[in-house]
Amino acid sequence: MDLAVSAAVAGLGIIHLFEEWLRPHLDSGALEPVLAPCGRASQGPFSTIRGRRHLPAPLRAFVDFIKN
């Protein structure tokens, strides 16, 4: 991720990451949003799990760990 951000700051392309991760570079002017009117604000990563009755055991362990 750091390499991708560095490449974008160097002007080598466009990067698509969570705004919170890019905020320091946006605030300093090193990066500027190009699709801001088209996007929606994101609160960060999330997951939707439909019907928790039949989750695989590893996923159930992960969900329980995150909840705690």
Span 9-62, pLDDT tens digits: 999 999 988 888 899 999 999 999 887 666 666 666 666 666 667 778 888 888
H helices within 1-68, ranges in order?
2-9, 19-28, 57-67
Q: Which amino acid is at 60?
A: R
Residue 11 maps to a domain: yes
- Closest listed residue to residue 31, CA positions, set 43, 41, 17: 17
Domain assignment of residue 12, given as a range? 1-38
Q: Which pLDDT belongs to residue 1?
A: 85
Please tell me the total count of domains within the chain.
Answer: 1
How far is it, in rounded angstroms, from Cα 5 to Cα 13? 10
Residue 18 maps to a domain: yes
How far is it, in rounded angstroms, from Cα 35 to Cα 23? 15
Residue 59 maps to a domain: no
Residue 43 maps to a domain: no
Residue 9 maps to a domain: yes
